[in-house]
Chain A
Amino acid sequence: MKPHGEGHVCFIGGGTMGCYNALLAALAGYDAVVYDIAWDSLLEVPQRVSEIAGEMAIAGLISPKAAQDASSRIAIQKDLKAALYGAGLVSESIFENLAVKRELFAELERYAASDTILTTNSSSLLVSDIEDAVIDGSRFAALHSHLGAMLFDIVPGPRTSPATLSRLQDYVQHLGGVSLVLKKENKGYVFNAMIGPVLAAAMLQVIDGAASIEEVDRAWMKRTGSPMGPFGMMDLFGTRLIYDSWKNRPAMPEQPLMDLMKRKVLSFLAPVVGTGRFGMRSGRGFYTYPDPAYAAPDFLQAHPETSLADYALTSAWTQNAVLIATNDVARPHDVDRAWIAATRQAKGPFAILDEIGLERALTLFHVTGPLAGPENAGKVHKCLIDQLAQGRSGLQVGKGFYEYPDPAYAAVTFLSGSVI
């Protein structure tokens, strides 16, 4: 079956994200072909797909029958030309190496039909880093998915055509997902641009001896109502993925503190990844699986509601959310929508800011330290001051980023609301 006759969807890279995206496509009725340069990895695709489908079935997201049907629509192909033949859409999910990706996209453009849309699922590289590697930029964009969530970031490049954007939005709609078309490219899109700093803040709390892994996760779970904290999330995403994203960050000699942070984080992740603790899938990461400590019924009991870890994480999260909005990447409600779609939590960062109160949030930001760079700190400060000047100080006064008592995020239609 090929919805709208677009041909099959070709997934480049048979790792976790490639398999996950192939499964989502197949569940929506698309034929999927997974290509990988490594034969070993390709042979593992059916097993990976089966595991992901099994987890989705256990979570009640799909039926075993649907999983079985979908799996039968996923083929593997070692020959790139054959994999691309007849493809309507290509989704790339190889490892995060810019030079390799650029070379790959030039090759994809050579072999794919001229109307085939080419997308990257890169988490850490920008569209502008890659897009000039293809001659016809009108058919290139980022289509970024999130493991375990139905949020899809769509980021056009400078030459992406409206028709390509429209086809990608249709595709996401067919998948049953929420698409967020960014006004402009942003490192880490929207969700990752918030979760990344949260994960970094979590690691620094532990590295600097301010809190234990469990204390950090507990703080986050209490604040957000999430079933796991940052370290549980890193286990879910895969510790290797987190390690690679830090490893591939370019050196920033002009910002020695950022380089120091990178070194600290890598020195923290290396003993985890280097000893095979890859996360949930390997049975070991920061926790051991299948019964991680954070899933125990008493994990959240008898601990304080707030903590320094809570302040640090909440500050990193909400400051970056404000920065995304002030940088005109996405509006506050869309930022929250992205967060809710990705995490299935009830509230996004702007709702949390309303809950905290903007005056208190300013104090919180002051105490926990501003974002890197005075320019960013100034932007965040100005945004909150502007809100306060309009009397929109948060939930307590009935208005902040939302109007109360019936905030938009509580409406059942919030996720299907208009995107940018």
Chain B
Amino acid sequence: MFKRDPTKSHMMPAHFGARYHGPGSSGWYRDVTALTVPYVTDGSQLAQLLPQGFEPAAEPIISVFYACNRQVDWLAGRGYNMIGVNADVTYRSDGESLGGTFALVIWENLTDPILTGRELQGIPKVYADIPDHSVSNDVWRCNASHFGHTIVDIEVSGLRAPELEEIAASEKALKGKDNPMGWRYIQQAGSFEPKLDEYTTFPSENHITQIMLGEGKVEWKNLSWEQNPTQFHIVNALKSLPILDYRPAALTKGSTNLILPDRLPRPLK
């Protein structure tokens, strides 16, 4: 009979044994190119999407980001692309209070990080086709689609090097708020009640080697059930959040480490 090793990480199908962990399988994403387009939205409308305990930050900002992840250690040097949506939030409960971002949804074009992200960290990941970004006439573009229908188009243009003051301001704004959070929710088999229902935080460490700022543009699509039967409600909800004011978009290059020994993923109190 298969016996689970309680000292190791398991995912379905668990009966084949623990996930591989060995030399070269660290949490480092060695080569990450990312575009981030933040914009201010309507706080009360955003609040409708947030589960209990979360409320929009004083300035209700949505950040739509794309990342082209290459040289991913735990994928033996392979990579994948993602497009995600974060909301600036404050989490408050009897146990703790935390400022940070709430992951509304993340699309990825590879199954493996979707499964690990959902099962181990509580990140709301779903699948989409996400081709590599294009750069033409200094305009960076990317998009996600599923079942042949576009979900979102993202564009960043007018790139320039940031002023040092902008870097310092960003550092200051992030101080104490570098807390990505999510809702780990799995329904019971044969019931609509949750089997697993917890909020999580999953810190990572970004080493940015290059940053440029520019003007961003996000275009959400309206989709029907026929066009994208599993995600149309997600896309339409995001489209319904108004884009009130774009903030400077960023192009960054660098590396990311998802495993911080002193800040491992954990359930929120």
Q: A206-B209, A263-B212, A267-B210 are in contact. Are A274 and B160 (CB under 8 A)?
A: no
Q: Which residues of B contact A262 (CB under 8 A)?
A: 161
A270 to B160, CA, bound (A): 11
Give the interface of A toward B (CB within 8 A): 206-207, 209, 243, 262-264, 266-268, 270-271, 273-275
B51 within 8 A of A: no
B168 within 8 A of A: yes
Inter-subunit contact A274/B168 (CB<8 Å): yes
Inter-subunit contact A274/B164 (CB<8 Å): yes
Q: Which residues of B contact A274 (CB under 8 A)?
A: 162, 164, 166-168, 171
Q: Which residues of A contact B209 (CB under 8 A)?
A: 206-207, 268, 271
Q: A267-B212, A270-B211 are in contact. Are A275 and B171 (CB under 8 A)?
A: yes
Task: Report which residue of B160, B164, B211, B253 has the largest number of chain A beta carbons within 10 angstroms of its beta carbon.
Answer: B164
Give the interface of B toward A (CB within 8 A): 31, 159-164, 166-168, 171, 208-212, 253
- Min CB distance B173 to A, Å, is 13
Inter-subunit contact A209/B31 (CB<8 Å): yes
Task: Report which residue of A268, A274, A275 has the largest number of chain B beta carbons within 10 angstroms of its beta carbon.
Answer: A274
Inter-subunit contact A271/B212 (CB<8 Å): no
- Min CB distance B73 to A, Å, is 15
Complex A-B, nearest 6 residue pairs according to Cβ-Cβ distance, in ascending order = A274-B167, A266-B161, A267-B161, A274-B164, A267-B212, A271-B208
Of chain A, the residue at the smallest CB distance from B251 is: A267
- Set B166, B167, B210: member contacting A268, Cβ < 8 A: B210
Q: Which residues of B contact A266 (CB under 8 A)?
A: 161
Q: Which residues of B contact A267 (CB under 8 A)?
A: 161-162, 210-212
With A207-B253, A266-B161 known, 13 other A-B pairs at CB within 8 A are: A262-B161, A263-B159, A263-B160, A263-B161, A267-B162, A270-B161, A270-B162, A270-B167, A273-B167, A274-B162, A274-B164, A274-B167, A274-B171
Sample 12 A-B pairs with CB under 8 A, ordered by A number. A207-B253, A209-B31, A263-B159, A263-B212, A266-B161, A267-B211, A267-B212, A268-B209, A270-B211, A271-B209, A271-B210, A275-B167
- Min CB distance B33 to A, Å, is 10
Of chain A, the residue at the smallest CB distance from B170 is: A274
Of chain B, the residue at the smallest CB distance from A213 is: B209
- Min CB distance A251 to B, Å, is 11
